[in-house]
Chain A
Amino acid sequence: MTALAVSARRRRTRSLPATPRYVAGRLAQAVLALFGVTTIVFFALRLSGDPARLLVPEGATAADIQRVRDQLGLSDSLWHQYVSFLGNAVHGDLGYSYVQNRPATALIAERLPYTANLAVAALILSVVFGVTIGVITALKRGKWQERVLMPIVLIGQAMPAFWTGLLLVLVFSVALRWLPSTGYDGPASLVLPAITLASLSAAAIARVTRGAVLEQLSQDYVRTAKAKGASTTRLVLRHLARNSTIPVLTVAALELANLLGGAVVTEVIFAWPGIGQLTIQSVSARDFPVVQAIVLFASAVYIVVNLLTDLLYGVIDRRVTAGGRGGAA
């Protein structure tokens, strides 16, 4: 039984009574945050451009634009629009896309499987590589392995996604013809975009893993185990893996939330029909209902993931519930 596990169990039993109230409080806050983000986006969007101007043909007149505005309900007062938006949103109606004339929620539902696939594939890649590199660099701290591996991870992080993505396409699609360049033609199509995305988050995961493992290595039980003659592999698998899981899971969860919100640049490069492309298209077209629906969706995913990780901490560290009166970040 490790030190961390012991303390976790002790704290968990103590913090249990506070948990339901804490969760209820956090849920209420989550709903308020969702409300806040939609409100801000609702008004900021309407300050930033006029969808009607993008919908009319080039020779249109001011009257034509006004017609479109009337038709979309944009001529009503902002307050009126906001109230009717909220009223409909409560009933699950987030409005119709101005451009595609279909329910905004349906558009997101169509795109979600693509983004989810890509996000999960990218996450698996970055966890596998990030954790491996993190463990190796921690165990071989200051040795050549660290000096070689860390820069490799950092290259991924120092290259913008559009640059990594196109380079991969040039090598693996154009020159070698091994993998499809764009679009979705079966699982092989996932490889290049997933690597592109993973190269960005693997570095974050490697860094956290390295930190967590280093932290564990300095603990007494590891020294004891080492003194007893445990092999490094056994040490890593038996003790370090378990005790370093929490921080790695945290980063992974947050990365997943970010990825589910849509990877704009990667989706554009690979013509991947996910949420990211829908975001850029609907923001560019000022397709307000779709943008609002995306923001609501992305915020909900983020807040839920965040809440879950916080609760996980709450289980481990009772001071989250006891100390931070307003709840922790």
Chain B
Amino acid sequence: MKRLVVPSAVLVLYVLAAVFAPLIAPYDPDKVTLAQRLLPPGAHHWLGTDALGRDVLSRVIYGTQVSLLVAIGAVVVGGVVGVALGVIAGWRGGWLGAVIMRLVDIVLSVPFFLLAILVVAVLGPSLVNVVVCLALVRWPRYARVAHSATLQARGRGFVRAATATGAPGWWIVLRHVLPEVLPVSIVVATLELGLMVIYEASLSFLGLGVQPPTASWGSILSDGQQYIASAWWLATFPGIALFVLVLAVNLLGDAARDRLDPAKRADVARPRLLRRMARQTA
């Protein structure tokens, strides 16, 4: 129980910062003041100013909105799509399952940068499309986990029994399979959450992230990369915000895994578990 308190508090704090950003932030995060560019942290600007004279503290606070939105959005969209397809592939099997799982291979094998640039080129640049792009790249991770969890559930006694009584497939899936699939998917999702913020930063580095002047941790980090030697505060503070989030989410993920993972139950084959863990993290 104690393991959950600190990371949960951090997450709540982040959500509060995102929601109440306009109340907390000392300045307008997008206000350009060229005469005050690249000021180091001080009394007026606690975390300094960026290359356009914008207050870094305000941008980090506002950036929480976008970064959490992108991360949660990508995890939810990618997770729902991935789990749904994974369960269908695992439950139905046959050619449909094969097609879905090969699609998983296809998406995983295309270089991330290529996919990102194609999505942005075809859909146009926007916050929503960053989410779409990340979800499109990451859904296969969930699909794989859900697929193997479904296969495993199919082999279990109560599912076979339910099938034998002639219950409709969708009912068995909802009633018996999903409860087996969701815990492990949620574990994957917590691990993915932090990663999505990094991915968003990489998109910004390549100029494909959220559109300026919108602040996100990723865009502040990537704007700051050419100033690492001359203005350390630019990339350091969003970096710390990101690190604390990743740490909290990972701790929560570990705790959730210990609590939710069906491995704790008796009738699970060990190799299966090892394999699934390997996939989740890869």
A interface residues with partner B (beta carbon < 8 Å)? 3-4, 7-8, 29-30, 32-33, 36-37, 40-41, 44-45, 47-49, 150-151, 154-155, 157-163, 166-167, 170, 174, 204, 207-208, 211-212, 215, 219, 244, 246-248, 250-251, 254-255, 261-262, 264-265, 279-280, 283-284, 291, 294-295, 298-299, 301-303, 306, 313, 316-317, 319, 323-329
Which one of A163, A324, A326, A327 contacts B235 once the chains associate, using CB atoms below 8 Å? A163
The 9 closest A-B pairs by CB, nearest first: A326-B98, A326-B97, A48-B121, A302-B109, A325-B93, A299-B109, A247-B278, A250-B278, A158-B246
Q: Are B271 and A313 in contact (CB under 8 A)?
A: yes
Q: A44-B122, A208-B278, A295-B111 are in contact. Are A162 and B205 (CB under 8 A)?
A: yes
- Cβ of B101 under 8 Å from chain A: yes
Residues of B within 8 A of A325 (CB): 93-94, 97
Q: Are B246 and A154 in contact (CB under 8 A)?
A: yes
Q: Are A166 and B272 in contact (CB under 8 A)?
A: no
Q: Are A323 and B154 in contact (CB under 8 A)?
A: yes
Question: Distance (Å) between the CB of A89 and the closest chain B CB?
Answer: 17
Residues of A within 8 A of B96 (CB): 326
Question: Distance (Å) between the CB of B35 and the closest chain A CB?
Answer: 28
Most buried by A among B111, B143, B228, B273: B111
Q: Are B281 and A246 in contact (CB under 8 A)?
A: no
Binds A, one of B22-30, B48-56, B58-66, B194-202: B194-202
Binds A, one of B71-79, B144-152, B161-169: B144-152
In the bound complex, CA of A7 to CA of B122 (Å): 50
Q: A163-B235, A208-B277 are in contact. Are A323 and B151 (CB under 8 A)?
A: yes
Binds A, one of B13-21, B112-120, B174-182: B112-120
Q: Are A329 and B101 in contact (CB under 8 A)?
A: yes
Which one of A3, A246, A255 contacts B282 once the chains associate, using CB atoms below 8 Å? A255
Residues of B within 8 A of A323 (CB): 151, 154-155
Q: Are B109 and A298 in contact (CB under 8 A)?
A: yes
Residues of A within 8 A of B95 (CB): 326
Residues of B within 8 A of A328 (CB): 101, 147-148, 151
Q: Are B102 and A324 in contact (CB under 8 A)?
A: no
Question: Distance (Å) between the CB of A8 and the closest chain B CB?
Answer: 8
Q: Are A37 and B272 in contact (CB under 8 A)?
A: no
In the bound complex, CA of A269 to CA of B141 (Å): 28
Residues of A within 8 A of B117 (CB): 48, 283-284
- The total of chain B residues at the interface (CB under 8 A) is 67
- Cβ of B43 under 8 Å from chain A: no
Which one of B102, B110, B246, B273 contacts A298 once the chains associate, using CB atoms below 8 Å? B110
Most buried by B among A157, A313, A319, A329: A329
Q: Are A291 and B274 in contact (CB under 8 A)?
A: no
Residues of B within 8 A of A262 (CB): 111
Residues of A within 8 A of B121 (CB): 47-49
Which one of A207, A246, A291 contacts B114 once the chains associate, using CB atoms below 8 Å? A291
Question: Distance (Å) between the CB of B24 and the closest chain A CB?
Answer: 23
Q: Are B242 and A158 in contact (CB under 8 A)?
A: yes
- Cβ of B128 under 8 Å from chain A: no
Interface of B is mostly: helix
In the bound complex, CA of A7 to CA of B108 (Å): 31
Q: Are B277 and A212 in contact (CB under 8 A)?
A: yes
Add 13 more A-B contacts to A36-B102, A329-B101 (CB < 8 A): A37-B110, A40-B106, A48-B118, A154-B243, A219-B270, A244-B274, A261-B109, A280-B206, A294-B114, A313-B271, A317-B271, A324-B147, A328-B151
Q: A250-B279, A329-B143 are in contact. Are A7 and B271 (CB under 8 A)?
A: yes
Closest to B147 in A: A329
Q: Are A317 and B272 in contact (CB under 8 A)?
A: yes
Q: Are B228 and A166 in contact (CB under 8 A)?
A: yes
Q: Are B94 and A326 in contact (CB under 8 A)?
A: yes
In the bound complex, CA of A158 to CA of B246 (Å): 6
- Cβ of B222 under 8 Å from chain A: yes
Closest to B113 in A: A264
In the bound complex, CA of A33 to CA of B101 (Å): 10
Residues of A within 8 A of B275 (CB): 246-247, 250, 313, 317
Q: Are B122 and A48 in contact (CB under 8 A)?
A: yes
Most buried by A among B101, B110, B147, B239: B110
Closest to B118 in A: A44
Mark B239-259 against chain A: 1 for CB-CB distance below 8 A, else 0: 100110111001000000000
Which one of B101, B246, B277 contacts A327 once the chains associate, using CB atoms below 8 Å? B101
Q: Are B144 and A170 in contact (CB under 8 A)?
A: no
Closest to A323 in B: B151
- Cβ of B229 under 8 Å from chain A: yes
Residues of A within 8 A of B231 (CB): none
Residues of A within 8 A of B147 (CB): 324, 328-329
In the bound complex, CA of A313 to CA of B201 (Å): 35
Which one of A159, A161, A303, A326 contacts B105 once the chains associate, using CB atoms below 8 Å? A303
Q: Are A36 and B106 in contact (CB under 8 A)?
A: yes
Question: Distance (Å) between the CB of B243 and the closest chain A CB?
Answer: 4
Which one of A40, A157, A161 contacts B246 once the chains associate, using CB atoms below 8 Å? A157
In the bound complex, CA of A7 to CA of B272 (Å): 12
Q: Are B90 and A279 in contact (CB under 8 A)?
A: no
Q: Are A324 and B97 in contact (CB under 8 A)?
A: yes
In the bound complex, CA of A41 to CA of B148 (Å): 28
Question: Distance (Å) between the CB of B159 and the closest chain A CB?
Answer: 12
